[in-house]
Amino acid sequence: MMPNDIRTSIFRKEVLAMSAYKVADAAGLIKLDAMENPYHWPEDIKISWLETIKDCPMNRYPDPEARQLVQTIKELEQIPGQFDVLLGNGSDEIIQLLLMALPPTASVLAPAPGFVMYKQLSDSLGLSYHAVPLLAGNFELDLPAMIAVVEQHQPAVIFIAYPNNPTGNLFSVSTIEKIITSTKGLVVIDEAYAPFAHASFMDRLVEYDNLLVMRTVSKLGLAGLRLGYLVGKPECLGELNKIRLPYNINSLTQLTVNFALRNKNLFDVQTQNICGQRATVLATLNNLEGITAYPSSANFILFRTQAGQADAVFASLKQQGVLIKNLNPQGGLLQDCLRVTVGTPDENAAFLLALAHSLGLE
């Protein structure tokens, strides 16, 4: 341990004030805490993937522009020719890149509850982060409150997750449009859950100069590879490209994501299964006495326990071998809330059974 006086004379105060992003240990547990796709690849796909990476030149640096992968993404997502694609080591890295390019006095705005990395990364860089609470009840954006912050603080960047994590809902399109036109700052629509949502702002990029759309392959089923991407005007992405580390996407990730996206029908089947299970889990949750589950356009479901019970329910589930996410410690609108990722039918059944047991209902 460094003595405290050395730390405080070396590191920035905002770094000293932070705590590290903690990931729960899932060893031996049914893992429904991190919005991962529960399915593996069929054997024949694995074999042809191994063939693809067999001759990967690992002695060489990767293609710094990942040209083949970018081409595949542009084709598959039907990204209009006038827009560029910037790749990141997960979309987390893209959020960091964007924030690192801002002046130290810049403000950042996002609704709360929202994705924790927006605040974590803003804090780490000493930027002013403004969180505007969503409306209680339906978790919609509070337009007047958002506009008030835009007018008062003129945020350089506004993050809007669509669907939102951890609430799972798609915000009103017309409200988002009003936010985009209210600001001179950039608006990033974070579409991490696009594979489950059937809704997107990708085809709206042409309408707004300040709009960026961010995606990731993590929730689709490739969380281990770390690849996210940002789509927007070349002038804007060009600035971010200057501060991107040249080899941020490793060779195996480039080859493997390219291979996977070329076999996308595989994921389409898995995604459909997950969406089907989402409906089953939601309905079953809402049939449990004392539980209120919220509709979701993502691959997870937020639900509320009776007042004061969330911590105990979470602990009981874990004790029964099921790991979900306890959001109660975050307080605010998330008081008494837990979040479960939709898994395989067996995993979901095990979760629901354990939950009924925790509630004394079985």
Ligand X SMILES: *Cc1c(COP(=O)(O)O)cnc(C)c1O
Q: Which stretch, 88-96, 167-175, 234-242, 323-331, contacts ligand X (CB under 6 A)? A: 88-96
* CA-based end-to-end distance of the chain: 49
| Beta-bridge partner residues of 87 | 229
If the CB atoms of residues 84 and 190 are measured against ligand X, the closer one turns out to be 190
Cα dihedral 207→213→217→218 (10° resolution):
-140
DSSP secondary structure string for all residues of 27-50: TTSEE-SS--------HHHHHHHH
Rounded CA separation 213/91 (Å): 11
161 binds ligand X (CB under 6 A): yes
Nearest approach in angstroms of CB 359 to ligand X is: 27
Nearest approach in angstroms of CB 312 to ligand X is: 26
State which of positions 96-115 bind ligand X (CB under 6 A). Answer: 115
If the CB atoms of residues 33 and 352 are measured against ligand X, the closer one turns out to be 33
State which of positions 115-144 bind ligand X (CB under 6 A). Answer: 115
Nearest approach in angstroms of CB 358 to ligand X is: 26
Contact 196, 299 (CB under 8 A): yes
Amino acid identity at 189: I
* Inter-CA distances, 43 with 40, 49, 82, 260, 270, Å: 9, 10, 39, 14, 15
Rounded CA separation 340/331 (Å): 17
91 binds ligand X (CB under 6 A): yes
* Inter-CA distances, 128 with 108, 134, 316, Å: 6, 19, 38
327 binds ligand X (CB under 6 A): no
Taking CA 268 as the corner, what is the angle to CA 52 and CA 86, rounded to the nearest 5 degrees? 65
If the CB atoms of residues 72 and 91 are measured against ligand X, the closer one turns out to be 91
Site string for ligand X, 14-53 (x = CB under 6 A): ---------------------x------------------
Nearest approach in angstroms of CB 164 to ligand X is: 7
Residue count at the site for ligand X (CB under 6 A)?
A: 13
Query: Which positions lie near ligand X, rule CB under 6 A?
Result: 35, 90-92, 115, 161, 165, 190, 192, 216, 218, 223, 228
